[in-house]
Amino acid sequence: MPDKADILKDWFDRIWTAGDVDAIPEFLADDATSKGILPDMAVVSTDMPDLVQLMRTHLGGIDVRLAKTMHEGDWVTALLEVRGHVAETGDPLHVFGQIMVRFEGDKMVEMYHSFDFLSFFEQMGQLPSNALAVLLAGTRLQ
């Protein structure tokens, strides 16, 4: 059986970078859930193609690197480094995230994400570039 971190890397390469949403069932169990992408809502495996396609409409040249990985039993945790460009402007995008994945065999069944959406939306041009500093100072974005 392939190394679980290698499966996770293949997931990002094929699904997110190449956009091969038809390959999702090769990686996810039918009852797989993904939490942390959308607040208070789990994404199930049947929703994943829509999520991938939605994100890919906003981003181009997506490259996901597993900067650090840790394994424990059926779990793999990875620090993700995501690079690409904003589809609308061509501006570069570089953000970090983390993922914890539980496997059953060679299929992912549970995923937990933590992603720097503040930096993501700053770089997308949807928030001011100093949004974190402004928010930490107590200012409300209107």
Phi and psi torsions of 39, nearest 5°: -60, 135
Cα 123 to Cα 85: distance, rounded to the nearest angstrom: 9
Report the C-alpha gap between 63 and 130 in whole angstroms: 25
- Would you state the pLDDT for residue 27? 96
Query: Can you give the pLDDT at residue 37?
Result: 79
Residue 77 amino acid letter: T
Q: Tell me the C-alpha distance between 82 and 101, whole Å.
A: 17
Q: Running along the chain, 142 residues long, what does each successive block of 10 average in pLDDT?
A: 90 96 95 84 86 90 96 96 95 97 96 93 92 91 80
Cα–Cα distance, 120 to 132 (Å, whole number): 12
Which tokens is 123 given?
């770089």
